[in-house]
Amino acid sequence: MILIIDMCYKRESLSKNEFVDPVVDIVSCKKSYIVKHFLELKEEDIFRAEKIILCGTALKDNEFMNHIEKFYWIRDTEKYILGICAGMEVISLVFGGKLRKETEIGMREINVRIDDPLFEGRKNFSAYELHNYSVDKLDQFLILAESENSIQAIRHREKKIYGLMFHPEVRNKKIISTFVDL
């Protein structure tokens, strides 16, 4: 079972249609899943999950940053995790990384620095961006891909934790599908 975490400012917000439901559509073709809002997440939800996906949010929706302590479980889990946009920001913050202001909206060229199964041998590709921050100071992570202005994909050096700043649910659905299959 895949746990899909809604990172939007409130449960069942309109943003859920844009940032959570497309992920559900991709995952539901492959595995069973449950969706939980980050403020309603329980330890047993994490325990029962095979893999976990932290979804993105709207540009001005940063409510999750006011509750970063709700995500400290990420440090201790051995589960596969994929953080998308806001999810990558949370992963970075939980592991001591920093955020810097960097707004990117629209299609951007992504350059793969380190080959990883998520990218299926691609060296570069176009991806949809919608974020106000970029991540920095990621000592515990490998930088898998970058755009001209920011880090776009990371993988923890020891754990099965990935982060993507771009939104694969928009133009790169196969990345989410590949993550589910890992």
Catalytic, 169? Answer yes
Q: How far apart are CA 157 and CA 67, in angstroms?
A: 25
List the chain residues with pLDDT less than 70: none
- Please identify which of the residues 18, 55, 85, 89 carries the catalytic annotation: 85
Could you tell me which of 79, 100, 89, 78 has the C-alpha nearest to residue 55? 89
CATH number of 2-181: 3.40.50.880
CB 166 within 8 A of CB 108: yes
Domain residue limits, the chain: 2-181
pLDDT of the residue at 13:
82
pTM, two decimals, is 0.96
- Give the single-character DSSP code of 172: -
pLDDT of the residue at 130:
95
In terms of DSSP bridges, do strands 2-6 and 98-112 run parallel, antiparallel, or are they unpaired? Answer: unpaired
Catalytic, 55? Answer no
Catalytic, 29? Answer no
